[in-house]
Amino acid sequence: LNLTERDQKVIWHPYTQMKNALPHIPIVRGEGVYVFDEKGKKYIDAVSSWWVNIHGHSHPYIAKKVAEQLNVLEHVIFAGFTHEPAVLLAERLLPILPGQQDKVFYTDNGSTAVEVALKMCLQYWNNKGIPKTKILAFKNAYHGDTFGAMSVSGRSIFTDAFNGLLFDVEFIDLPNEDNIANLKSQIANLKSKTACFIFEPLILGSGGMLMYEAKYLDELIFACNEAEILTIADEVMTGFGRTGTYFACEKLTNKPDIFCLSKGLTGGTMPLGITTCSNKIFEAFLSEDKLKTLYHGHSFTANPIACVASLASLDILLDSKTLQNIKRIENKHAVFLEEIKSHTKVKAVRHTGTIIAIEWETGNETSYLSSLRNLLYAYFLDKGIILRPLGNIIYILPPYVISDEDLDYVYSAIKSALEEI
Ligand code: PMP
């Protein structure tokens, strides 16, 4: 049996049990923007492998730091003990987050970073003797697939199997000029029951790379502040340079109370999640009363290797060369979209920072079951490009090291797909 067949016998992959799913391609090596399969075929990873490898694959600087840490301290329980990589990472990260963020809580991935944020908010009000159980979120949002994160994800494909078992969530439309006044009064009416509002700032990723303007999010955060509803920015996808600034919330005047970070945090080398908050929230958990503690902690919390990988990834991110690369990609994307936006098969184009989305005229199902989606996916794989269309929406979200030549190659493949599919 070859590796794909052995895999098929023993492994349950995410999202691919539906009939006609393509076989899994064995990948043996990654370097920069490329991954290579066992036959030596090279693929451009145009989606940074589920949006995590911001500096590309097997970055030598991160690899060196990780290898060094592996020989010093690979892991230690984080209850009752601490270590330099965890403290240093918190010290370096908190000052660059928008607004006043004072404490880092470590978890394992994006979903658990969200889970912690929700628990922090629900328990915050409980600890203050004002229990609130409702949560506010956007329709079409995606925040992860653990139970809390799933509850606030407004995507029925992920939640229908669990109806009746999820949190009490009110889903609201993305804000625009026409509905902002209504959304604000909706928030004001929810005041007494609602613990928090969780949102993906500026771009709903899995929901179809749906983009909305910072000025309206600013108004929603302001309305939440007035209504004593805590605000959670899920920057799991948008964090670490994706939208052209280090964090999407830098574009806001009103800053959120809590941040969720993961994906690009470690540069895609190791799993790690972070939830941050201000001392105002932290202090509501400080008490003689044991029940006011946040009882949450995972075996791999603050893994030192993952923290060192994050520190190395931050070093690269904060280097001026990376910012120049982000700007370069942003500018090239804009030129490309200008070129194709009037094509008859293009329904809409969207762009923020290093992310672009192109919506195909036909098909409107942002699902993995859509036949157009599978056609497009296979078409680009054949051309040596990893793109993961969301139904009829293609998006590019590349590592920042992608060269102009490789970007041009991806653009030209999209142009030929527009002619051929
Ligand atoms: N939040 C957002 C905005 C995401 O895009 C994702 C993952 N796509 C998550 C949370 C969940 O992260 P993870 O897959 O690491 O659990």
Domains defined for the chain, CATH in brackets: 3-58+320-420 (3.90.1150.10), 64-317 (3.40.640.10)
Q: What is the dihedral of CA 264, 147, 14, 300, to 10 degrees?
A: 50
Contacts of 59 (CB under 8 A, 6+ apart): 267, 269, 312, 313, 316
Cα(39) to centroid of ligand 1, in Å? 31
Cα(144) to centroid of ligand 1, in Å? 5
pLDDT of residue 290: 87
Contacts of 214 (CB under 8 A, 6+ apart): 201, 202, 251, 252
Q: Ligand 1, from 262, 298, 300, 390: best to mutate by most atoms within 8 Å of Cβ?
A: 262
With a 6 Å cutoff on the Cβ, whether 143 touches ligand 1 is: yes
Contacts of 408 (CB under 8 A, 6+ apart): none
Nearest CA to 187 out of 152, 225, 239, 236 is that of 225
Query: ipTM value of the model?
Result: 0.99
Q: Would you call 366 exposed, middle or buried from its count of C-beta atoms within 10 A (0-12, 13-18, 19+)? A: buried
With a 6 Å cutoff on the Cβ, whether 234 touches ligand 1 is: yes
Nearest CA to ligand 1 atom 14: 110
With a 6 Å cutoff on the Cβ, whether 111 touches ligand 1 is: yes
Nearest CA to ligand 1 atom 1: 143
pLDDT of residue 162: 95
Cα(142) to centroid of ligand 1, in Å? 7
Q: Would you call 108 exposed, middle or buried from its count of C-beta atoms within 10 A (0-12, 13-18, 19+)? A: buried
Q: Is 138 left (phi over 0), alpha (psi -120 to 50) or beta?
A: beta
With a 6 Å cutoff on the Cβ, whether 275 touches ligand 1 is: no
With a 6 Å cutoff on the Cβ, whether 301 touches ligand 1 is: no
Nearest CA to ligand 1 atom 15: 110
User: In the 8-state DSSP scheme, what is residue 130?
Assistant: -
With a 6 Å cutoff on the Cβ, whether 239 touches ligand 1 is: no
Q: Which residues are annotated as a binding site for pyridoxal 5'-phosphate?
A: 110-111, 234, 298-299
Q: Which residues are annotated as a binding site for substrate?
A: 50, 142, 263, 297, 388
Catalytic residues: 15, 142, 234, 263
Cα(132) to centroid of ligand 1, in Å? 25
User: Which of 362-367's residues contact partners 24+ apart within 8 Å by CB, and which partners?
Assistant: 362/392, 363/391, 363/392, 364/391, 364/392, 365/391, 365/392, 366/140, 366/207, 366/208, 366/390, 366/391, 366/392, 366/393, 367/157, 367/391
Nearest CA to 352 out of 217, 201, 218 is that of 201
Nearest CA to 167 out of 132, 192, 141 is that of 132
In this prediction, the residues of the chain whose per-residue pLDDT falls under 50 are none
Cα(150) to centroid of ligand 1, in Å? 10
pLDDT of residue 363: 65
Q: Ligand 1, from 13, 106, 115, 142: best to mutate by most atoms within 8 Å of Cβ?
A: 142
Nearest CA to ligand 1 atom 7: 144
With a 6 Å cutoff on the Cβ, whether 207 touches ligand 1 is: no
Nearest CA to 329 out of 54, 110, 71, 94 is that of 54
With a 6 Å cutoff on the Cβ, whether 205 touches ligand 1 is: yes
Atom of ligand 1 nearest to the CA of 114: 10
Query: Global pTM?
Result: 0.97
**Rounded CA separation 199/193 (Å):** 18
Cα(282) to centroid of ligand 1, in Å? 24
Strand 393-396 with 230-234, pairing: unpaired
Cα(344) to centroid of ligand 1, in Å? 33
**Rounded CA separation 201/243 (Å):** 10
Residue 348 pairs in a beta bridge with 359
With a 6 Å cutoff on the Cβ, whether 110 touches ligand 1 is: yes
Q: What are phi and psi of 66, to 5 degrees?
A: -65, -45
Cα(109) to centroid of ligand 1, in Å? 8
Residue listed under structure tokens 């942003």 = 330
Atom of ligand 1 nearest to the CA of 200: 3
Atom of ligand 1 nearest to the CA of 111: 16
Nearest CA to ligand 1 atom 12: 110
